[in-house]
Structure 1
Amino acid sequence: MPLDSVGTNDIEKTTISHDECNYANSTRSLSPEHYDYLMQRHGTVDLDPLPSSDPNDPLNWPNWQKNYEILSIAFGTFTSTFMASGMQPSYEAMAEKYGVSISDASYFTSVQICVFGILPLVWIPLMNTYGRKPFLTVGALFCCALNIGGGFCQTYGQQMATRVLNAVFISTVTSAGGSVVGDLAFAHERGKKNGWWSLGFVLGTPGGSFITGFIQYHAGTRWVFWVFAIMNFIQFLLWIVSRETVYSRGCPDTIHINYIGIRKSSARPFSWFMFIRPLKHASSFNITMAVIAASVTFCYGNIVLSVEMPQVMISLFHLNAQQMSLQFISLIIGSVIGEIIAGPLSDWWMKRCTAKRNGRRVIVDRLWLTYDGYLLVIVGLIVWGVYLTKATPNHWSIKPLVGAAITAAGNNKIATVITTFAIDNDPKHAGEVSVYINLVRSLFGFIGPFYFPSMFENLGFAGSAGLMCGLVFLFGGCTTLIVHFCGWRRERQYEKSIK
């Protein structure tokens, strides 16, 4: 079955490979040596995608090596959003130091979110062609230097320059999550393994504000940047001992590696078209609907809480930086619970559905696991908004934070399942699909803080929560339901055609 018909019929076949070459494997065409190798290494040949008999094939690596690479990516995505949101407790101090308003200081975070969305369009094609390891390693080292420089900046312009450049280089790792999982994980593992880096990306937002609040309160702004630099240096060390995951399976490939580790592969030649190729996935109905659902839910289930919580809670309850940081525990707990539910459950559910369909994998089956996520986001936002409206000034209450935790759990569950579903539509180009998701999600999240204050001022907390719930229901739940229904109808027609 050709790959484009997979998106049409919502069915994954075990003969589809996810590398860049137009190459299909079949267990019936395996050589005896290939068959024996796969049985010895994996204990089965029923694998999607089917590995080669080369021990250097990333799918044949030891499990500890695969997990190391994916966890390194997860730590990198966590660090990226950690550093962006970790600026929030320092807004007041930096605004005073640089002679600007707190609103102007907030752009240190907003501009990084914007860069996270755009730069992967550049990094992904380069990494797919020349290898990921050199870009990830050098990017982490440059970020370390830029964060050290950020601690010595004396003007707003200098600090803004370091934040923009920092986002440019840290976006190498935010670009690579889906690609690395696609290189290392089989189809039955994608839900859990995508959940690792997805959790890191989501958890970094509240985690940054939580940790740096203590740092800002006890040690000052400069140490916030020192901590960022330390995290980047740890990343640098992790990448130094990592392995290259880019591999051309089933294609004649001649690789030349220069003295700084950048490779040039004959199977993956450079092309300027690569820089816009991720945008071609906008033509896929399933992927685009998933991107819309993921973007809207991430904005109102994560960004709005992370960005607005400091401004709302500080003015309402008069909290200091350390007290404010404690409020983010709710988002951290919710996100972790959401991921514990989402990843393993998603893979288990798909195995069960595949077994019921006699080995045929229908990717829209995964969408059943999103609806309770949307419900959690909506219920959590209502609790958060209503109890903030009822809150008494200077009398702290945990009730809004309960709503925030519920929302965070639902958001992370949706993020993991929807991202995996989008990649399932075109596993051959997992990296490009991830870039498309990240681009739209980041740009939509970047726009949010510009209108959030006006929304809360005009509608109040309860009214704003109601509006956001409506948007999540319409552009999240309803779009998912439409995709699910269309896929279900096509599956019914397929079942009738083979009877």
Structure 2
Amino acid sequence: MSEQTTKDDAANQPGAELVVGSSKLFQENQLQCIPMPTPDPKDPFNLPSWRKWMAIISMCFFGSLGLGIENIIGHLLPLFYFEYNGVSWSVLLEIGSLLAIAGSSSMNVLEALATWESVTPLWRVALLATLPIIVNGISSFVLVPLSSAIGRRPVLLLAGIMAWVGGIWASQSQSLDAHIAARCFQAFGAGAVEAIIPLIIQDMTFIHQRNRAFATLNASQGVLIIGLGMMSPLIAFYLDWRRLYLIFSGLTACAWIAVFLCVPETRRERSNDELAGKQVYLLEPGETRPRPDVESYGPRTWKSNFGIFNIPIRWSLCFQTFLESFKCLTFPAVIWATLLSAALQGAGNAVTQTSSSVLLTVGWRIEKLGMSGLALLIATPFTYFISGWLADIVSNWIARRHDGRREPEVHLLSIILPVILAVLGLVMYGYVCSNILTILRADYALLVNIFFHTVGSTCINTTLQVFILESYPNFAGPILIVYSSFRLICGFGMTVKATEWAKTMGFLNMFGTYGGLIGALALGGLPVFFLGKSFRTRTAGVVEDEEGHTKMARQPGRPSGSNGSPENHPAPLNSNPVPGHPRMEPRDEPAGCVIKRRTPLE
């Protein structure tokens, strides 16, 4: 028996429970691959780093367009309000003309418009921005279970088609009802951004990479949204808002092509031991992952790279994933993360719906409203640094300090500063809106507070996604259904009449309430931080008990206690080289585990 085998045995000695979500990230000061890849070259974990990042970048492009239209429509609500009341948009050029038509002396545009005897009330026009949110949330109940049955790739491609077809429909709509229906159809396709894309990223990245991967997704979406958002008011005002939808549909179609070319199928059933990063396959001394076995599994082909239906269809997994999403509603960490994210979503929606009207109040011209996106653009590098690069460093450093053991709850340390920024940004935003005429350069003050809230909310959402997926790796799909759906549905309930509440409650009271709610929910994370491991033990069980027996809760789509089919474990676990495989030279792969071998994939 080799020296390396002895070390591995010592590292896996029984005597301490390994709870679901906990992992041994470092052994002998060497970074481990968690989950453990298989020897199959078609395993998404065995993709070269450049291919993984191409897939992530293409999904960022698609995701930014799906979320961008949501953000932009919110800023254009004043325009649509006049459009569906038969009034020329030119009144939006001067705040005095706007207030004269509204028949009010108030400098609060929302209050002024509320006094106007219009055919279509303000809250109904606001459904263009709010109703798609709840549709987006509901879509996760369909898209995620469907992806468990037929694969991630076909569902993502179908959702992409719905997104750009919905934009064309909206551009041709002739009534508010048709416009809202088209927006909802478009939002159903954009639902892939909330659930399928995070699921794909989770399928192809190791746990020590996920903060950066999710931060890249969220931060890059911000850059593209701002670029498009700054041009959108100009296009809508000087050309036509219908032309804006056509441009977005064309760009979404281009993003769909990029997704088709770059994103492979990533759904793969993994054993309990693989999810925990345990040594399941043959490893050479110094290796942390098995070598790709082309002889046993075959190489990646055009079909595995570009085919649409690359896995066996199993409809039983569709129903099982759907049912298990309700079980996830009993997980304390998931409940808390969903509620906190919902509060952030609702507050963000309220800011989007009200900021354009407030900026018009201080004299901004409608065609320049897109410049408000500069606050989001400046926030982008901060969100990546805090929730990506810094969060990975902190969590990995803590794992090293605790004998290599990684607990998901350490991620929650990374949301302390973002929570402070999010709450501060909301309260100060409400204060500035309430004193818009007495604050010097109130528009700059608004943008600064939007910046604070954006940095805080984006960092929190990124960290929460990583936290819940790492806490319950065997329930990734069901958890994303709960998290993505209920945060959007609750967020819709919190903002369905945000414009009306701003008029009746006042900006400071409304946004102070949002800030207080977020602060209170964040404090609710203290029990999750200190008792999270106990919660995971009770709700999902342990990977390995004190005697070394595997006892992990059932992975969705796999019978209880199964470690995979025999073909997934072609080689016995020992220290001898794989017959017929030459010893391979070390390589450097910065974005992956320490892999001391060269694979046929490069």
TM category (shorter chain) comes to 0.7 to 0.9
Counterparts in 2 of 1:428 and 1:211: CA distance versus 1, 3 Å: farther
User: In the alignment, which residue of structure 2 is the partner of 1:292?
Assistant: 339
One-letter amino acid of the counterpart of residue 352, structure 1 = W
Aligned equivalent of 1:465, options 507, 511, 514: 511
Q: Give 3-state SS (helix, strand or coil) of 1:370's partner.
A: helix
My pick for the range that moved more, 199-208 or 181-190, is 199-208
User: In the alignment, which residue of structure 1 is the partner of 2:325?
Assistant: 278
**Cα deviation, residue 348, structure 1:** 0.8
Counterparts in 2 of 1:473 and 1:91: CA distance versus 1, 3 Å: closer
Q: Size of the alignment, in residue pairs?
A: 457
Q: C-alpha distance in 1, partners of 2:145/2:478?
A: 9
Is the 2:140–2:481 contact (alpha carbons within 8 Å) kept by the matching residues of 1? Answer: yes
One-letter amino acid of the counterpart of residue 132, structure 1 = R
Find out whether 1:379 has 2:424 as its counterpart. Answer: yes
Aligned equivalent of 1:132, options 129, 146, 152: 152
Find out whether 1:484 has 2:495 as its counterpart. Answer: no
Q: C-alpha distance in 1, partners of 2:439/2:31?
A: 64
One-letter amino acid of the counterpart of residue 23, structure 2 = E
Q: C-alpha distance in 2, partners of 1:335/1:305?
A: 18
**Cα deviation, residue 163, structure 1:** 1.4
User: In the alignment, which residue of structure 2 is the partner of 1:11?
Assistant: 22
User: In the alignment, which residue of structure 1 is the partner of 2:466?
Assistant: 420
Aligned equivalent of 2:132, options 101, 107, 112: 112
- Deviation string 1:166-220 (CA, Å, 9 cap, x unpaired) is 1222323432122111111001011111222334566777666444222212322
User: In the alignment, which residue of structure 1 is the partner of 2:499?
Assistant: 453
One-letter amino acid of the counterpart of residue 453, structure 1 = T
Aligned equivalent of 2:190, options 158, 165, 170: 170
One-letter amino acid of the counterpart of residue 410, structure 1 = G
**Cα deviation, residue 339, structure 1:** 2.6
Q: C-alpha distance in 1, partners of 2:456/2:352?
A: 15
User: In the alignment, which residue of structure 2 is the partner of 1:365?
Assistant: 410
User: In the alignment, which residue of structure 2 is the partner of 1:70?
Assistant: 56
Q: C-alpha distance in 2, partners of 1:159/1:234?
A: 23
After the TM superposition, which residues 31-430 of structure 1 pair with which residues of structure 2 at under 5 Å, given as runs?
A: 46-99=32-85, 100-199=120-219, 209-242=229-262, 243-249=264-270, 261-265=308-312, 269-300=316-347, 302-314=348-360, 316-392=361-437, 396-397=441-442, 398-430=444-476
Q: C-alpha distance in 2, partners of 1:276/1:116?
A: 20
Gaps of 5+ in 1: 16-26, 28-43
Is the 2:159–2:190 contact (alpha carbons within 8 Å) kept by the matching residues of 1? Answer: yes
Report which of the two has the higher share of helix. 1
**Cα deviation, residue 418, structure 1:** 1.5
Q: Give 3-state SS (helix, strand or coil) of 2:173's partner.
A: coil
**Cα deviation, residue 130, structure 1:** 0.8
Is the 2:78–2:357 contact (alpha carbons within 8 Å) kept by the matching residues of 1? Answer: no
Counterparts in 2 of 1:105 and 1:200: CA distance versus 1, 3 Å: farther
Is the 1:299–1:448 contact (alpha carbons within 8 Å) kept by the matching residues of 2? Answer: yes
Is the 2:429–2:446 contact (alpha carbons within 8 Å) kept by the matching residues of 1? Answer: yes
Q: C-alpha distance in 2, partners of 1:393/1:181?
A: 47
Counterparts in 2 of 1:169 and 1:404: CA distance versus 1, 3 Å: closer
User: In the alignment, which residue of structure 2 is the partner of 1:31?
Assistant: none
One-letter amino acid of the counterpart of residue 67, structure 1 = W
TM-score scaled by structure 1?
0.82
User: In the alignment, which residue of structure 2 is the partner of 1:39?
Assistant: none
Counterparts in 2 of 1:13 and 1:269: CA distance versus 1, 3 Å: farther
TM-score scaled by structure 2?
0.69
User: In the alignment, which residue of structure 2 is the partner of 1:441?
Assistant: 487
* RMSD of aligned Cα (Å): 3.3
Q: C-alpha distance in 2, partners of 1:479/1:89?
A: 33
My pick for the range that moved more, 124-133 or 92-101, is 92-101
**Cα deviation, residue 103, structure 1:** 3.1
Q: Give 3-state SS (helix, strand or coil) of 1:351's partner.
A: helix
Larger Rg, first or second structure (1 or 2): 2
Is the 1:334–1:407 contact (alpha carbons within 8 Å) kept by the matching residues of 2? Answer: no
Is the 2:222–2:376 contact (alpha carbons within 8 Å) kept by the matching residues of 1? Answer: no
